[in-house]
């Protein structure tokens, strides 16, 4: 399997090099040159297999010739050994044939663990083969950072620097990042919002001299290998509700578009998906795109669901590449317009193609609070604010007949409610407790660095603190 850039000027290259590069050298994002697929009978035969075996079977389609199925299965078994639920990604049935996919049983109790724990092992294998060191630079709106720092702590070949927006993550999210004190891992507070952090990361990658000097790589979802493990739980959950013999729909709380794009890839691989409901908070850039075909950046507004406080959804570029017939120049032109003017648009036929499978939905803080309360009152079940947005969107899709009445809807629960205790307590009257392994989290000593919203300052910090 070879990989190319969405902007047409980088690749083809191997999976390993796409993994270690992270962001393409032309500023684009890597994708496989073609989509592997499973037949309905092959998908049906997956039913009942252990999660780690399915991970090996599915992900090996993207690494053939480099990482074999048995190697990936072993890596997945090691990655998910610490997860606290035997099913790894279990489903909980709700009303109206809606199911919640619980993705919070990893060490940082958020869905990013599913990818990050695997990714750290993939990095170890690749760096060992190439006998080299790497500097990982990433941006987070909360969950990616803690998952990355936890996954890469103690690894000698990697230094990790995670930028997060100062004062714009939950106290639990911040403490999960700043209490990791191993050598080589650094939580960095930036004066700005998540989009500023993400822009700093991309700017550092686009500085070729700096990139080569420190051996820069990425673990944000701009890295293709971050999305690969997320494809797996789309398959496992869909099989649990009847796929491939019946279609399924997914409601996905979305900021950077990576998680929902992983679902779209699962569909390309043969999973019968009727619809993806792209669920946003008040930062509704994606909802607006699916309404009018215009991607237009506006100010980022803080919300009860801070991991979705985003107005630049980087992974949407991957879908745009597909919608535009894999025309790298057209994508590059659109992204240049977005960078310079804060907007781009697509032709109506392109929008209509997207609307065949995607719908946009947004929910403000008042609605989010109401959904948390409704879910607790009706089901005695606590959900975090991001999951509440997704669940409300799923119910809305059912009510408005956006999904066939016989099609199960799976709503992704991307974080444990204890990550956002104040919002959950305010809505439900219940204070969610942290899992046992994190019970002392808020008393742990913090360690973090601070930088202004300036690329030179970030680069100086990396050069001063890296071990290589």
The CATH number of whichever domain residue 303 belongs to comes to: 3.40.50.1100
Domain presence at residue 155: no
Longest dimension (CA), the chain: 58
CA distances from 36 to 2, 64, 153, 351 (A): 12, 11, 33, 25
Instruction: Judge whether 112 counts as a catalytic residue.
Output: yes
Q: Which residues of 224-247 are buried (b: 16+ CB within 10 A; e: fewer)?
A: bbbbbbbbbbbbbbbbbbebbeeb
List, in order, residues 6 or more apart from 322 with CB less than 8 Å away: none
Determine the structural domain holding residue 324 and report its residue range.
91-110+224-428
Lowest mean per-residue pLDDT among 68-82, 213-227, 342-356: 213-227
Peptide bond into 244 cis (omega under 30): yes
The answer to whether the predicted template modeling score (pTM) of the entire model surpasses 0.75 is yes
Confidence check: pLDDT of 109 > 80: yes
CA pair distance 147, 292, nearest whole angstrom: 35
Which position among 74, 86, 112, 450 bears the catalytic label?
A: 112
pLDDT tens digits for range 148-184: 999 999 888 999 999 999 999 999 999 999 999 899 9
Model confidence at 65: pLDDT above 90: no
**Residue 403: inside a domain, yes or no?**
yes
Confidence (pLDDT) at 468? 67
In a domain, 405, yes or no: yes
- Name the domain count of the chain: 1
List of residues 6+ apart from 229 with CB closer than 8 A: 55, 59, 76, 79, 114, 115, 118, 119
Neighbours of 182 (CB within 10 A): 12
Query: Does residue 267 lie within any of the structural domains?
Result: yes
In a domain, 7, yes or no: no
State the pLDDT at residue 220.
84
Would residue 296 count as lying in a domain?
yes
């Amino acid at each position: 399997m070879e990989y190319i850039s969405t902007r047409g000027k980088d690749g083809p290259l191997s999976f390993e090099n796409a993994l270690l590069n992270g962001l393409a050298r032309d500023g684009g994002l890597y994708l496989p040159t073609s989509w592997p697929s499973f037949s309905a009978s092959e998908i049906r035969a997956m039913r009942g297999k252990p999660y780690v075996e399915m991970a090996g079977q599915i992900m090996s389609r993207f690494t053939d010739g480099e990482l074999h199925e048995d190697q990936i299965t072993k890596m997945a078994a090691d990655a998910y050994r610490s997860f606290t639920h035997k099913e790894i990604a279990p489903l909980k049935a709700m009303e109206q044939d809606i199911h919640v996919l619980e993705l919070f049983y990893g060490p940082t109790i958020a869905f990013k663990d599913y990818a990050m724990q695997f990714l750290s092992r993939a990095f170890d294998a690749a760096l060992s083969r190439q006998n080299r060191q790497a500097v990982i630079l990433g941006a987070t709106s909360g969950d990616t950072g803690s998952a990355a720092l936890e996954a890469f702590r103690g690894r000698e070949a990697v230094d990790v620097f995670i930028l997060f927006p100062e004062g714009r993550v939950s106290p639990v999210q911040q403490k999960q990042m700043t209490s990791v004190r191993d050598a080589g891992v650094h939580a960095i507070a930036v004066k700005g919002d998540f989009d500023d952090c993400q822009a700093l990361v991309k700017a550092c990658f686009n500085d070729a001299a700096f990139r080569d000097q420190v051996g820069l790589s990425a673990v944000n979802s701009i890295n293709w290998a971050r999305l690969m493990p997320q494809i797996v739980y789309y398959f496992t959950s869909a099989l649990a509700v009847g796929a491939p013999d019946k279609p399924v729909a997914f409601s996905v709380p979305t900021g950077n578009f990576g998680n929902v794009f992983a679902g779209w890839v699962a569909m390309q691989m043969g999973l019968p998906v009727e619809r993806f409901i792209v669920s946003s908070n008040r930062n509704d850039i994606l909802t607006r795109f699916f309404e009018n075909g215009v991607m237009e950046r506006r100010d980022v507004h803080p919300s009860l669901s801070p991991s979705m406080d985003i107005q630049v959804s980087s992974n949407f570029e991957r879908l745009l590449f597909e919608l535009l017939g894999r025309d790298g120049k057209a994508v590059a032109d659109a992204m240049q317009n977005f960078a310079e003017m804060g907007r781009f648009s697509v032709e109506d036929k392109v929008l209509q193609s997207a609307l065949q499978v995607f719908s946009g939905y947004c929910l403000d803080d008042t609605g989010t609070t109401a959904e948390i309360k409704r879910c607790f009152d009706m089901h005695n079940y606590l959900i975090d604010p991001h999951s509440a947005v997704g669940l409300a969107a799923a119910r809305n899709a059912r009510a408005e007949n956006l999904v066939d009445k016989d099609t199960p809807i799976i709503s992704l629960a991307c974080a444990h409610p204890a990550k956002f205790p104040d919002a959950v307590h305010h809505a439900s009257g219940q204070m969610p407790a942290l899992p046992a392994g994190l019970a002392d989290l808020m008393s742990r000593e913090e360690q973090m660095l601070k930088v202004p919203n300036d690329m030179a300052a970030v680069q100086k910090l990396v050069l001063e603190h890296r071990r290589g």
